[in-house]
Structure 1
Amino acid sequence: MAKQFPALTADHRKFIEEQHMFFSGSAGPSGRVNISPKGMDSLRIMGENRILWMNLTGSGNETAGHLKQDPRMTLMWCSYTRRPLILRCYGTAKTYHPGDDGWDSRAVEFPAHRVEFPAHRSARQIYDVTVDMVQTSCGYAVPFMDFVQDRDTMQTWVDGKSDEDLRQYWRDKNTTTLDGQETGIPV
């Protein structure tokens, strides 16, 4: 049975930190709804009602375009191990791009973004999520799956690109949503 909470509990936080992936959901007032799987070391719980998510370069940029129109966001985690559980965080998000006021103070929360670990130099946004409701549900129909390892494909791709190559990719692939809405990415 689903249960709602006004904030993340210590148990919720532990569950989230044990998961290797999560899903983000967003939508503008019209057009397509977007749901994306996310992984790597890209999420930080900052408090009972605050989550930071560093969004890395990808083939689309739907979330950024949606949030320019409507700040609603849902994050979801599923357990694929013995403990059946689905956890969703509902709320709103503010977008920060590299160079924006507030970017550096958020980016420092991600060790891989620090100068000595340039692994996330392809980060195009950080979403600062304000959680207004947490919901748990049973997850009884979610299959068991074993985690093998994170993929290195993204990092290998990034390592083969210059900073200008990444910006050109953003210009080519990340400036508008599937529905033609601007994403606000600085190119």
Structure 2
Amino acid sequence: MGQFFDSIPEDLILWIRKQEVFWVATAPLSPDGHVNVSSKGVKGTFHVVDGNRVWYQDLSGSGIETISHLRENGRITILFNAFEGGPKIARLFGKGVSYEFGTPEYDQYIPTSERLPGSRAVIVIDVHKVGTSCGWGVPLYKFVSHRPTLNSWASKFEAKDLAIPPPASPEELQNGGKIADRGMKRFWRLFNAQSIDGLDGLLVANVTPKRAESGDWKASSEKVDLKQLMGVHKEKQVNLKTARSVVDVGRMNLQLLIGILIGMMLHAFLARVGYFGLHVRQISNSFL
């Protein structure tokens, strides 16, 4: 049976800190608006302050739904699932607020040394209700590793931003300074300005003159052992090669069959042409 609490129990806090992935659910006030669910899984981004406050580092992506919804109404739910060990589901219901990159509040939560590439905001949630349930329907999965792709991609974009000279005048500073054509701030302006329902997205991070001075992400982020992953998926690769071999053999057999059929049709055609020519000559000779 499900249980509800007014704050996160201590044993649940310990369990939450061991999880590798969580989900965030928000929605606009409009009945026609789109309810959003986002998965989050970069290690070290989720933090528990105490039983009634949590926060996470919001990394860049092609959407801005969570921040837009929080600015409008503040409602948010965080979901955790147990994929290993005993079954469990935990939901954190609360009111959230976002502090964008370039604000003093952001710096209080995320110092430069702990900032991940592409970090655009910190999402702070005041939890007023916690729900747990059995989770018997959740399948078992074995955790392999976090993906390095997002950090790697964001690092390249932020490197473009750092290559641009800082603002040279107060006017340029007020307008956010120059931005790189393929930099992160350009990406924020293009893809993170509004939600899919037209609600405001980023308002500060995309125009702030503050520069992303985070160091090389590889110093603190996990790397994927490609050799290990190749070993994990070796059987799948072998099966794929076998399947391709079967397809190739089948294709060769089909080509051979088509060739035989074409040869038979051509032979029959030539035979009929030869018979017709002989018949014409016989008729012609009868008139001579």
Band the TM-score falls in, shorter-chain normalisation: over 0.9
Q: CA deviation at 1:77?
A: 0.3
Structure with the bigger RCO (C-alpha within 8 Å, sep 6+) is 1
Counterpart residue identity of residue 140, structure 2: F
* Residues 84-126 of structure 1, C-alpha deviations (whole Å, 9 max, x = no match): 0000000001110122231111113xxxx51xx65x1311110
**Contact 2:59 2:118 (8 Å CA) reproduced:** yes
Alignment: residue pair count: 180
Which residue in the other structure is 2:126 paired with?
130
TM-score (norm 2): 0.61
Which residue in the other structure is 1:14 paired with?
14
Please give the residue correspondences for 1:16-31 in structure 2 after superposition, counting only pairs within 5 Å.
16-30=16-30, 31=33
Supply the distance in 2 between the matched residues of 1:104 and 1:155 (Cα, whole angstroms). Answer: 20
Larger CA Rg, structure 1 vs 2: 2
Provide the aligned C-alpha RMSD in A: 1.2
- Partner-residue secondary structure (3-state), 2:104: coil
Check if 1:172 corresponds to 2:190: yes
**Contact 1:44 1:51 (8 Å CA) reproduced:** yes
**Contact 1:122 1:158 (8 Å CA) reproduced:** yes
Q: 1:49 aligns with which of 47, 52, 67?
A: 52
Q: CA deviation at 1:148?
A: 0.3
Q: CA deviation at 1:147?
A: 0.3
**Contact 1:90 1:132 (8 Å CA) reproduced:** yes
**Contact 1:170 1:185 (8 Å CA) reproduced:** no
Q: CA deviation at 1:51?
A: 0.3
Supply the distance in 2 between the matched residues of 1:142 and 1:135 (Cα, whole angstroms). Answer: 16
Supply the distance in 2 between the matched residues of 1:153 and 1:94 (Cα, whole angstroms). Answer: 27
Give percent identity, aligned residues only: 29
Q: CA deviation at 1:15?
A: 1.1
Structure 1 residue ranges without an equivalent (≥5):
none
- Partner-residue secondary structure (3-state), 2:17: helix
TM-score (norm 1): 0.92
Which residue in the other structure is 1:72 paired with?
75
Moved beyond 6 Å, runs of 4+ = none
Check if 1:139 corresponds to 2:142: no
Which residue in the other structure is 1:107 paired with?
110
* Residues 6-53 of structure 1, C-alpha deviations (whole Å, 9 max, x = no match): 001111111111110000000110100100000112111001100011
- Partner-residue secondary structure (3-state), 1:102: helix
Counterpart residue identity of residue 170, structure 1: W
Structure 2 residue ranges without an equivalent (≥5):
162-179, 207-288
